[in-house]
Amino acid sequence: MKIKSLDEAAAVKALAALAQAQRLRTFRALVVAGPDGLTPGTIAEQLEVAPSALSFHLKELAHSGLVSSEPRGRNLIYRANFEHMVELMNYMTKHCCQGEACEVADAASCATC
C-alpha cells in the first residue's frame, strides 16, 4: 500500500487536534489498542475522564482524520487511523537531514544530521 502525501492544511488540522493533552492521551490509547480499537466507555475508564468531555475530544480527533469510528451493536468502536498517522509523520520528516536518508537513534544524534 502506497502512503499518500499529506498537504499542509491536513497536517495543521491533525497537529492542532493533538495539541491538547486529553486528545493526545486519547489518541495514544487508541494507538496502543491497535486495530481492535476501544469503546468510548473503555477509553473514559482508562483515562479517568468524563464521557461527555471524551465525546468532544473524539469528535475533534475524528474531524482531523486521526481516528475513525464504526458502529458495533449498541456501541461505537474508535480506532486510530494509522495510515493518517504515518502520513503526518512522513510530512513532518520529509526533509529530515536535507532530504537524505537518516537513521536517528536518539535526539542527540539528530543534531549531527
pLDDT tens digits, one per residue of 95-112: 777 766 666 555 444 444
Q: Is residue 14 part of a domain?
A: yes
Burial 74-95 (b: 16+ CB within 10 A, else e): eebbbbbbeebbebbeebeeee
The answer to whether the beta carbons of residues 12 and 29 sit under 8 Å apart is no
CATH classification at residue 77: 1.10.10.10
Q: Looking at the 3D structure of the chain, how many domains does it have? A: 1
Percent of the chain whose pLDDT exceeds 70: 82
Q: Is residue 43 part of a domain?
A: yes
- Quote the cell numbers at residue 19: 495539541
Which helix or strand (DSSP H or E) is residue 42 part of? helix 40-47
Q: Is residue 19 part of a domain?
A: yes
pLDDT for 93: 84
pTM for this predicted structure: 0.81
Q: Is residue 1 part of a domain?
A: no
CA 105 to chain centroid, in Å, comes to: 22
Q: Is the pLDDT confidence value at 113 over 60? A: no
Domain that holds residue 76: 8-110
Q: Is residue 3 part of a domain?
A: no
Q: Is residue 73 part of a domain?
A: yes
pLDDT tens column, 4-37: 678 999 999 999 999 999 999 999 999 999 999 9
